[in-house]
Amino acid sequence: MRLEKCWFCSSTIYPGHGIQFVRNDAKVFRFCRSKCHKNFKMKRNPRKVKWTKAYRHLHGKDMTQDTTFEFERKRNRPERYDRNLTEQTLKAIPLIAKIRHDRMGKHISNRHKPGKRKEMEKDSKELEQDIGMLPKKLIINHLAAEKTKVKVEVVQQQTEDNAMEE
């Protein structure tokens, strides 16, 4: 079973699905659905259409540079069948999927960090500017909590060795 990639959005095309367009120079374009085919006919650039894989790759939205993608790479040279290698590969697939999932989560959280920091700065600045709009009870409770904090000095206890040295 041969799985093709959509020329426009890079999604997987299963056998019996999609549309093929063959240009006069015999170049074949495969599309997963009519949405991609229509966008191609309108001469839209996939790198400028936000929902395509090319756009997400270009703008750093998706994790594209990772070693786990090496397993999905298309290989044109047929490999000799080896039962042990096939067994090891099948055992490794769930582990690879878990690693990819973890790395994807880390990539997304790293991508959101600057925005969260800016949002927190904006919120704190807004709070400072409009502190008078809050109810008096909240302001008094907040100030009281700050005043009740007590500083405690920690004194290192002397051990017998330290006491003898002095």
Residues 97 and 127 in one domain: yes
Residues 35 and 45 in one domain: yes
Looking at residue 71, its pLDDT comes to 67
Looking at residue 64, its pLDDT comes to 64
Looking at residue 32, its pLDDT comes to 95
Residues (pLDDT < 50) of the chain are none
CA distance 43 to 90: 41
Residues 13 and 35 in one domain: yes
**27 assigned to some structural domain:** yes
Looking at residue 117, its pLDDT comes to 85
pTM confidence score: 0.48
* 8 Å CB contact between 53 and 9: yes
**113 assigned to some structural domain:** yes
Contacts of 3 (CB under 8 A, 6+ apart): 12, 13, 14, 15
Residues 67 and 130 in one domain: yes
State both tokens at 166.
């002095």
Q: Which domain holds residue 11?
A: 1-61
Residues 68 and 43 in one domain: no
**120 assigned to some structural domain:** yes
* 8 Å CB contact between 13 and 4: yes
Residues 25 and 36 in one domain: yes
Q: 20 pairs with which residues across the strands? A: 30
